[in-house]
Copies of this chain bind each other. A is one copy, B any other.
């Protein structure tokens, strides 16, 4: 991997950029996580999503526990080079740790945030 590819990004003070995973088939935005240099490098090398877990302070190979791997079909950066956009094939059809298809399951409706997506699989069954 040419270092220029990673240098092109404008990493924030913590060395991170947000990364959006979009379902390559449906166009749905599945989730947003964070990447550091290593995460983006590994994502491009492995052709599957690798994030940086801010809560755990380590690389997060998406699907390592759940099996819900995100295989890449495309990677883009924006005009400011501080956001990554992944097109992915979501293995298992579940991106969210709550067991839902996507993390954006709350919609603003009737003056409040309403959940409008069902849990497909109980997280207790996903993370054993």
Q: How far is the CA of A18 from the CA of B76 in the complex (A)?
A: 17
Q: How many chain copies does the complex carry?
A: 2
Choose among B2, B4, B18, B112 the residue that contacts A2 (Cβ–Cβ < 8 A): B112
**Residues on B with beta carbons closer than 8 Å to the beta carbon of A113:** 5, 8, 77
Cα-based distance from A111 to B1 in the complex (angstroms): 7
Interface bits A88-125 vs B (CB < 8 Å: 1, else 0):
00000000111010011111100111000000000000
CA distance A22 to B105 in the complex (A): 15
A30-73 at interface with B (beta carbon < 8 Å): 31-32, 44
Size category of the binding interface on chain A: 35 or more
- Contact assessment for B76 and A107 in the assembled complex, using a CB-CB cutoff below 8 Å: yes
Task: Please report the C-alpha to C-alpha distance between residue A104 and residue B26 in the assembled complex, in whole angstroms.
Answer: 18
Q: How far is the CA of A105 from the CA of B4 in the complex (A)?
A: 18
Contacts of A96 in B (CB 8 A): 79
- Chain B residues with CB under 8 Å of A77's CB are 104, 106, 108, 113
Q: Please, could you name 6 A-B residue pairs with CB atoms under 8 Å apart, sorted by A?
A: A2-B111, A5-B113, A18-B18, A20-B32, A32-B78, A76-B107
